[in-house]
Structure 1
Amino acid sequence: MRWDIFCQIVDNYGDAGVCWRLARSLSSLHGQEVRIFCDDLPTLNLLASGVDPAIKDKIDIQPWEACYNNARHPVQTPDVVIEAFGCELPERYLAGLFIAPIKPLIINLEYLSAEPWIVDFHAKASPQSHGISKYFFFPGFQKEVGGILVDPIPPEGEKVAKQIPYDLKAVWAKLRSGAKRISIFCYPGAPLRKWLEDLGALGEDVDILLTHGHAELLNLYGEQPIQLPSNLQLLSLPFVSQDDLDWVLSQCDFNIVRGEDSFVRAQLAGKPFIWHIYPQEDRAHEVKLAAFLDLYLEEANQELRLATIAAMTWAMPSQWFKALDLWSTHSKAWRMQLLKNQEDGGLAARLLRFVA
């Protein structure tokens, strides 16, 4: 089948990351024909860089406006249209669907959530005045909902550690033997400077891997650079592809992630993490975080539960860092549980079955 995926980038990387990973899964694992229409091609292409050309070349990546400028479009009406995260289809594109001899199915792909109510709304019809069938599709962790994107499944072991991506070799050469590794990819509102100062006061050797742009966020090179003890080493990563960031997460002892794509990949890496959830004015993000923690910590003891909740709500490391070994064990068990729940292929495969 032909799939058109519409992606409007709201938070720089997460939305594009999910759309690209979905397109890749549909194409490379399930043999589907996929086009992506995106309003920020430079970001999408950066995330997709470094992917095997045999995989990338099968996906037709187009600018947003090409969906109605392309003369081929009326001939190649898709079978399925994905509105990623509720973005509205361009009117001229929608008008082309009205006159198509066979109408496509429109899927409103929602944001990932652990909230219990999504079970009742997943896969429900969304009646439209234009008459084209449209449905809600909710990604989630429960078996009854849309699943998560598991492609590619991150491998484990020393073999992976030796496969250092080319763009990361210079940074990796500076890592200290025996030091813990923490990667940081968060939104500007995080109390990073204070968090790092508190971490440094614990006296443990830690190498901090700052993803692209975070050195500026911390004002490392400005008029008031951050002053940290020698047991902490800050290293700035270049902008890396989606696959390379997956690799970084797998090689760290602890990760701070944001958005949706890196949030899932941190869990599949089997490592402890802080999810810096996108802040919303109505504080709806707090409800979403609490719902996830209810699932994530369902099997945890009281010590781990308190430590994880403290970390996720930006308590200082001195308040929970001693529970890191316990958390690491839990993270590996959670990874196995996630993969078991996605044995049916996860989000991409569940979409295909639903459409069928």
Structure 2
Amino acid sequence: MRWDIFCQIVDNYGDAGVCWRLARSLTSLHGQEVRIFCDDLPTLNLLASGVDPEIKRRIDIQTWEASHHNSRHPVETPDVVIEAFGCDLPERYLAGLLIAPKKPVIINLEYLSAEPWIAEFHGKPSPQAHGIPKYFFFPGFQANAGGLLIDPVPSEPFVSPTNIPASLKTSWKLLRPNTKRISVFCYPGAPLLKWLEDLGRLSENFDIVLTHGQLEQLQFSSGYPTQTITLPASIQLISIPFVSQDEYDWILSQCDFNIIRGEDSFVRAQLAGKPFIWHIYPQKDHAHEVKLAAFLDLYLEDTSQELKHAVIAAMTWAMPSQWIQSIDAWSAHSKAWRADLLKNQADGGLAARLMGFVA
């Protein structure tokens, strides 16, 4: 089948990350033809860099504007159109679908959520005035939701510590032996400097792997944007260049703890099987707090009260000294959670469920 995916980037990388991972799953695992129309090609291309050229060659990446010309080519009508995260289709593109001899199915691909109500709305029709069938598709953790994007599953050769991506070789040489590693990818607004200062008071060494732009964000939030940040000697900051999606997956697997943001990184942190803080995108109406609580209800369902308190404290930016004593139990739980996730998504997860739904 031919698939058109429309992606408007709101959260810098997360939206593009999901669309790219879905496209590569559909092509490499299911042999589908996929075009992505994106309003921020530089970001999408950065995420897709470093991928097997054979995978990239199969995906037709186009500018958002390029979709406007398709009204003159009704022959190229796709079988499935995906509106990622509720973005509206360009009017001229939609006009082309209306005059096409064969109508596609339109899928409104929603944001991932662990909230129980999504199962009731997943797969339901969304009647449109134009008459082209459209459906809601909700990714989720539950068996009766749309599943997770699990491809590629981090394998032993992939996560090998010796398999250092070329772009990270210089940074990785700075890591100290027998030192805990924490990767950081969060939004402005997180109390990161205070968090690192607290970490520096613990009797342990930490190497902090800062993703592209985090050091500048940290300097700016410290109020001294042009000065070097001074932290205890036990804390070493290592700033890395912008990396592709696969290289970031590798980083998550090599760290003992990960601070992540955005939907794609959220799933990858869980598949890395390590403790993590999900810095969920803050929304004015506090909807993000409900979303985080729903995930934690699921994530911590079978854990001890002590671990529940520790993880909830960590996820809501309590200082590390308040919960670090539970880190070993959290690490064990992270591995068990990863195994459960893979078992629950054994049908192939989101891409496979989408294929089955469309069929």
Structure-2-length-normalised TM-score? 0.97
Deviation per CA, 1:202-248, whole angstroms, max 9, x where unpaired? 12110000000001011188334321111110000100000000000
| Cα distance in structure 2, aligned partners of 1:90 and 1:347 | 25
- Deviations, residues 41-88 of structure 1 (Å, cap 9, x unaligned): 000000000000000000000000000125774220000000000000
For residue 277 of structure 1, report the CA deviation from its aligned partner. Answer: 0.2
Q: Find the aligned partners of 2:158 and 2:128 in 1 and give their Cα distance.
A: 52
More deviation, 224-233/330-339: 224-233
RMSD between aligned alpha carbons?
A: 1.3
Residues 158 and 284 (structure 1), Cα distance of their counterparts in 2 relative to 1, 3 Å cut: closer
Equivalent position amino acid for 2:206 in 1: V
Alignment of 1:201-212 (within 5 A): 201-212=201-212
CA contact (8 A) 1:67 1:73 kept: no
Count, aligned residues: 356
1:284 matched to 2:287? The reply is: yes
| Preserved contact between residue 112 and residue 140 of structure 1 (Cα < 8 Å) | yes
Matched, 1:344 2:356: no
The question of whether the paired residues in 1 share the 8 Å contact of 2:70 and 2:93 is answered with no
Matching of residue 162 in structure 1 with residue 162 in structure 2: yes
1:283 Cα shift? 0.1
CA distance in 1, matches of 2:314, 2:227: 27
Task: Give the distance between the partners of 1:344 and 1:224, measured in 2 at CA.
Answer: 51
Instruction: Provide the residue aligned with 2:260 in structure 1.
Output: 257
After superposition, the C-alpha distances for 1:90-126 in whole angstroms (9 at most, x for unaligned) are 0100000001111000000000000000010000000
* Residue 155 of structure 1, CA deviation: 1.8
Aligned pair in 2 of structure 1 residues 183, 73: CA closer, same or farther (>3 Å)?
A: farther
CA distance in 2, matches of 1:218, 1:17: 24
* Structure 2 segments unaligned to the other structure (5+ residues): none
The equivalent residue for 1:293 is: 296
Pick the aligned partner of 1:232 from 223, 231, 235.
Answer: 235
Which residue of the partner structure matches residue 85 of structure 1? 85
Displacement of 1:159 in angstroms is 6.5
Separation in structure 2 between the aligned mates of residue 133 and residue 27 of structure 1, nearest angstrom:
24
Could you tell me which amino acid in structure 1 is paired with residue 94 of structure 2?
Answer: L
**One-letter code of the match for 1:330?**
H
1:142 & 1:71 partners in 2: Cα distance?
39
1:119-146 CA deviation, whole Å, 9 max, x = no partner? Answer: 1000000000110000000000001000
Mind listing any 5+ residue stretches in structure 1 that lack a counterpart? none
CA distance in 2, matches of 1:73, 1:25: 27
Q: Partners in 1 of 2:302 and 2:197 — Cα distance? A: 32
What percent of counterpart residues are identical? 76
> How far 1:318 moved relative to its partner?
0.4
**Contact 1:17 1:261 survives alignment (8 Å):** yes
CA contact (8 A) 2:41 2:63 kept: yes
The one of 316, 319, 324 equivalent to 1:316 is: 319
Displacement, 1:157? 7.4
Counterpart check, 1:222 vs 2:225: yes
Taking a change above 3 Å as real, the CA distance of residues 103 and 209 of structure 1, as seen in their structure-2 partners, is same
Contact 2:200 2:231 in 1 (8 A): yes
